[in-house]
Structure 1
Amino acid sequence: MSNTALKKQAEEISVYAYKGETVKQALKRDGRINKTILKKNCVLSELSEEGETEMANLVDDLDGKSFKIILLDKSSQPDSQPGSLDNADMLLNEPQTSGADGNQGPPQQSTASESVNTQTTEESPEKSALHEIHNSEKMLNHLRSQLSVSVKQMKTQQKVSKLSDVQNLFRVEYGKNTKTCLEVKTVKRLMDLSKSVCQVRINGSAAGSGFLLFDKFVLTNGHVVKNIYDQDTRQLGENVTVTFCFESLEQTDSCETVQVKTEVAAYEHHTDVSGYLCDWALLELCPGQALPDGLLKHFGFVPQRGGICIIGHPGGGVKKIDPCFIIPPDHREQAVEKHYEENKECIQLVTDSFFNNRQVLSYDTCFYFWSSGSPVFDEHCNVVAMHSGGYAYENAKCQTQSVIEYAHPLSLIIEQIILKVVKTGRFDVLNEFLSCENAKHQQVMENLKKIVDGRNFTAFKNAADNLEVQNDKRLKTFFEFFSQREEPVLMDID
């Protein structure tokens, strides 16, 4: 026996084997027999009658028989018989010892049994009388109850072990959701639009992401420049630049940067009366450098569901793209619970106000820090929102993750930009915005008119009399639209 303590407690042991196995295979898998016996020239001698069984023989006809192991000589075990399963793939791994004392795990169960007397050749050659094993009936019932489960597990292991690494790889690939696939034409279109995405830098260091919205105006989040922005003077207190070409680490030094003007075109970072956080900044670039096309002409409204793509500079690194799926407002709580169950000690629960906020677009992305200001595209390559943040935490492995991420709809930001530039008298910015044609602008204007009429903005009334507006046909038409009043409908009542 491998464990000498076990030999003192039992005179006989039961070995379980599969039909089609050799004696050597069964003893090897059992694990309790000293491995020397499997290497030396040993045979099984039957107790009830004369006859010997070699280690290479099959166990099929040995059910219920009792043997003792005899060492014929110290030579090596003879070669297996032709057709032997000695090296077959069905052999399971040898059980590992549980510690330094050499104790083995419990014997594995199978469909046949054989009782082996472990007397050595030094003991008396006389055949010992058969007697009942202590608690044998109880042991047998216990083994039978576990037999079917063990057999199923073994068969499963055998099937899996026969799969090559290549097969396992393809099993994973074939299991992917086809909805995550993008058409080649969509990828090409996004790559073209990605030229307008930039990295925002403060004093040469990455601070966030952004994109050219129209003309020479870059849109990013207000919190990206919040710490260097003066509300009273509307000036930036530090040097701000953007770069549109940072797509590889080799371009770190050679990538061309564009200077941002000190005066900010428009800025909002506050919570309005409805509890909605306005968080955006419109930065004006200095003239003199060639710029990509603005994305305003590709503007679209936020879809209710489906796939989206975010392009930006997560982690302050090179430009990246992340395809993901929209999480509808009704499913946000379920998405958060999934993260929370896995990281209860790390996550602070997201507030109920977020779950109920149907204005923001929510999703699950890998874009974390320094990706604020990235444009969000829908399945038709329309810019529908601006990636703004998420509820971040640090997991047990000290890795930064986020429970759920969100973006502000571009339609709401456009409305806020128009209100702001009219209020501050930046009609030059408004004029450049109006010069960018988009079929969806009319719907934005109609929504904005409802806001202006409802809140009675005096800035729109006063702007109609401004000399700059009067001398510009485009601006004049714009403010005339807001000065129109709907005529009451007269109804004949009998």
Structure 2
Amino acid sequence: KKKSFKFCYDKNDYAVICETSMTIQEALHTNASFQEISARNQQKVKNLSNEMIIKRRTPLAATVTPDFPVCLIDENETLDIKFKTVDRVQKSTPKNTPPPPALMAERGNFVSFYISRTGGDNIQYILQNSRLTETSYICVYALKRENVEAALRRDGRFKEKVFQKGILKEESSKTLINLSDPVDVNDEFSEMKFQIIINPNKIKGQMSTQKDKNLNDSDTSQATNFTQASTNAEEKKIETLLKENESRKYTEIKEIPETQEILNLLREQHRDLVKTLKERENLKNDGEVKRFFRVEYDKSVQSFLEVNRVKKLIKRSGAICLIRVDDFINGTGFLLFKRFVLTNEHVVKEYDCDTLKLEHSLRAVFGYEDVGSPVNEISVKENCVALLKGKDDMGNYLDFALLELSRDVQLPELLKYWRNITSPIRGGVCIIGHPGGGVKQMDPCFIIPKEDIPQAAETHYTNNPKDHVIHVITKWCLAEDRELRESQIMYNSCFLHGSSGSPVFDDFCNLTGVHTGGYDYEEVSGESRSVMEYGLPLFPILVQIFIQCSQRGRSDVVQHFECQQNLKYVLQVANKQLQEDIRPPNDRFDLSASGSESVTLCVYTGAWSYSAPGEV
């Protein structure tokens, strides 16, 4: 069985195809480029070694060991590789050999979990060489049915004192897990986050239960030489903590007056809700229900909360602008490169199909972040550089327009932050734009995997039982647009009208798409509601821009694309189409053409809106 993934070294991506039974290191060594990279990084100085650091591009960006199973990484996942020169040290916990290939090939044989690189009080330094871990967490794998200690010893990065005095504390629930416990208790270990702390019940000097007699660690001798004063202080601190926990445990609880009836109703509803949740999510017991809510909560609070990510997004948001059509605000755009702004085709409205000359006056307004604050308003040249609303030659549905400003601006260029040829199918995204023509706003949200779209729509209908006719129509529209959805990144966002053309950033603050629309409707009360929203990936847009600019003689754009390291594959695909003399289709895909005789859903500046045929 084969697995494909990529590794990134020195800002270059390399593809790897290997057997799923391999470790990451074994798989990397099947790649000729990695073999050369590894050879260049061999350290020949005595007492020094060049160690390889492998970092996953997951939300926690955790580091893994070279013997991490390939079957545990995602298809087409990218691993960041670097080498660091460190002192050659004798490891205190010799690494065990990886499991046999027959076990390594099946993902179901393993669980993976995360451990904070920093331990708790009095055991902060838990890693043998913290310089080899540049992220907040490390990712550890374990065979099901083995205990925690066996997994940590195989990992090989932990100091011996972890096994003498440590215990795992789960970060969300604060549950303590002994190193002798198996990792598959209720199958809850997978993807959990832990911190190693001092075991409050560990007897001083007690050794680990793991039967490994061949350890040679300086920490062991240090542990036996602790002074009595420091030991007493530590024990006193633990005793204090235990007393605090005990006092919190028995805090007096007072009943809110006259709430018994409400309490009974909630208890009755709780049973039905848990039953429905178990059926819908195929959960077998209460432990799985708790884990489900914990995972959903963890996902909702971790996305884009890291300060460095927020700083990156704020800096890059300087490229985002309002798009004025005549005197009306019609959407959002962003500076792609130099003086070229990208937005949606339906934002620019009317234009000549042959010359791409705009029939309305357009202006880009940068820096609108507060009412009354000074802004930078720049007129747009009268001819579009490239645009398409319809299906391209690769079968992707596009809705984009590349505009040219009348003068240069000194602002972030978002094209340099585009990385991924394939769009993310899971995880978080962040949209920054001007919904409703208001001040610049940011909306972090989660991608709806394509296989979960019907479920997400059904959940919306269940939670919003009013306006059944509208729900039936939107449900039908979602079913009819199955082919269109293949080109979309679906998510739940609060951005509706006026946000078309907003950039969509991925978990790593890289530009990944353009926010384009959504399935929305108007309630009887007049309030706008939305089932879900979508963006279009940037890769096919960039290919189409290069093709059109090559055909229209825009050498300035063509030359800029040719100079960009991250656009090599874009040029390869575009040049292949140009060589085959494939022209963009003349027939435009009209998103409102599939409407029924009485009611349809159609695109309006950033969302779908409810209207009768002929009024679009």
Report the TM-score range of the alignment, normalised by the length of the smaller protein.
0.5 to 0.7
List per-residue Cα deviations over 1:181-218 (Å, max 9, x = no partner).
32010000000000001111112321100100011000
Corresponding residue number in structure 1 for 2:489: 361
**How far apart are residue 175 of structure 1 and its match?**
11
1:30-429 correspondence runs (5 A): 93=258, 153=264, 177-180=297-300, 181=302, 182-227=305-350, 229-251=351-373, 254-272=374-392, 276-287=396-407, 290-301=409-420, 302-341=423-462, 342-343=464-465, 344-347=468-471, 348=473, 349=475, 350-356=477-483, 357-429=485-557
Letter in 2 for 1:263: N
Contact 2:512-2:538 at 8 Å conserved across structures? yes
1:443 matched to 2:569: yes
- Give 2:100's aligned residue: none
Which letter maps to 2:510?
Answer: N
Confirm or deny that 1:434 pairs with 2:562: yes
User: Is the Cα–Cα contact under 8 Å of residues 189 and 381 in structure 1 kept in the other structure?
Assistant: yes
Report the CA distance between 1:457 and its aligned residue: 4.0
Q: Distance in 1 between matches of 2:393 and 2:574?
A: 17
In structure 2, the CA distance between the partners of 1:235 and 1:396, relative to structure 1 (3 Å rule), is same
Change in Cα spacing, 1:189 to 1:345, as seen in structure 2 (3 Å) is same
Are the structure 2 counterparts of residues 93 and 151 from structure 1 closer, same or farther at C-alpha, using a change threshold of 3 Å? closer
Instruction: Kindly report the root-mean-square deviation, in angstroms, between the aligned alpha carbons of the 2 structures.
Output: 3.1
Identity %, equivalent residues = 37
> 1:448 deviation in Å?
3.0
- Distance in structure 2 (CA, Å) of the matches to 1:423 and 1:340: 47
Please tell me the residue identity of whatever aligns with 2:414: L
Partner SS, residue 381 of structure 1? coil
Q: Is the 8 A contact 1:196 1:292 kept in 2?
A: yes
Aligned residues: 296
CA distance 1:442–1:237, shift in 2 (3 Å): same
Q: Which amino acid counterpart does residue 368 of structure 2 have in structure 1? A: F
- Is contact 1:268-1:279 (8 Å) kept? yes
Give ranges in structure 2 of 5+ residues lacking alignment: 1-252, 269-293, 585-616
Partner-residue secondary structure (3-state), 1:286: coil
* SS in structure 2 of the partner of residue 210 of structure 1: strand
Confirm or deny: 8 A CA contact 2:337 2:413 kept in the other structure: yes
Counterparts of 1:328 and 1:317, CA distance in 2: 30
Q: Give deviations 1:313-339, integer Å, cap 9, x for gaps.
A: 011111000000011111111111122
CA distance in 1, matches of 2:357, 2:418: 28
1:329–1:355 contact (8 Å) kept in structure 2? no
Instruction: Please state whether the residue corresponding to 1:413 is helix, strand or coil.
Output: helix
Q: State the alpha-carbon separation in 1 of the partners of residues 266 and 553 from structure 2.
A: 78
Describe the shift of the 1:238–1:151 C-alpha distance in structure 2 as closer, same or farther (beyond 3 A).
closer
Deviation at 1:430, TM superposition (A): 1.5
SS at match of 2:550: helix
The one-letter code of the counterpart of 2:478 is T
* 1:339-391 Cα shifts (integer Å, max 9, x gaps): 22324233322333433432211111011011000000001111000000011
Q: Distance in 2 between matches of 1:155 and 1:395?
A: 28
Cα distance in structure 1, aligned partners of 2:415 and 2:357 = 25
The TM-score with structure 1 as length reference comes to: 0.55
2-structure distance, mates of 1:156, 1:338: 22
Cα separation, partners in 2 of 1:175 and 1:303, compared to 1, 3 Å: closer
- Cα displacement (A) at 1:406: 1.0
Mean alpha-carbon deviation: is it higher for 418-427 or for 186-195?
418-427
Q: Which secondary structure does the structure 2 equivalent of 1:335 belong to?
A: helix
- 8 Å Cα contact 2:338-2:409 kept in structure 1: no
Tell me, in whole angstroms, the C-alpha distance in 2 between the residues paired with 1:91 and 1:424. 73
Q: Which has the higher contact order (CA 8 A, sep 6+)?
A: 1
C-alpha change, 1:414 and 1:274, in structure 2 (3 Å) is closer
TM-score (norm 2): 0.44
Shift of 1:156: 7.7
CA, structure 1 residues 91+430, in 2 after alignment: closer, same or farther (shift >3 Å)? closer
SS of the aligned residue for 2:496 comes to coil
2:436–2:496 Cα contact (<8 Å) kept: yes
1:278, CA displacement in angstroms? 2.1
Separation in 2, partners of 1:93, 1:178 = 34
Change (3 A) 1:456 1:401: same
SS of the residue aligned with 2:445?
strand
Shift, 1:275, TM fit: 6.0
Mark the CA change 1:177 to 1:375 in structure 2 (over 3 Å): closer, same or farther.
same
Return the offset for 1:432: 2.8
Provide the secondary structure at the position in 1 that maps to 2:419: coil
Q: Which whole-Å CA distance do the structure 2 matches of 1:269 and 1:385 have between them?
A: 15
Residues 441-468 of structure 1 deviation map (CA, whole Å, 9 limit, x = unaligned) = 1222333344445x43499xxxxxxxxx
On the 8 A contact 1:216/1:291 being kept in 2, the answer is no
